[in-house]
Structure 1
């Protein structure tokens, strides 16, 4: 799955989807898609990622207590 870094046009290939959908994990591991070669895996804060369309990530992926609000 590809996500975009907020306020940038850089794409990130998410390595582990389970990390992404787990609301108790605040960072995910991904590979920045700069250049033609595959980049090394790096950590990205979920709060800084959006879908390529610009839409925010679902709240249930970010907040473990989303049902209590």
Structure 2
């Protein structure tokens, strides 16, 4: 199973995303992920995709967030 680590813009926490299909789907505004901190696996939480970035600070591609990205 492939996972992706993203970063929460407000807290700079690393978020592990397991459902990449939902991440890539522009019709879904939210995604479930787990904050990566501490020794124990954290419970899943829901995050707005617009509040996430790549670890580099780069925003997610518009085609993952905006269903009208081609217009």
Separation in 2, partners of 1:46, 1:21: 10
Gaps of 5+ in 1: none
Number of equivalent positions: 68
Tell me which protein shows more helix as a share of its residues: 1
Query: So what's the TM-score if we normalise by structure 2?
Result: 0.91
Flag as ranges the 4+ runs of structure 1 deviating above 4 A: none
Q: CA deviation at 1:9?
A: 2.2
- Give the RMSD, CA atoms, in angstroms: 0.8
Gaps of 5+ in 2: none
Query: So what's the TM-score if we normalise by structure 1?
Result: 0.94
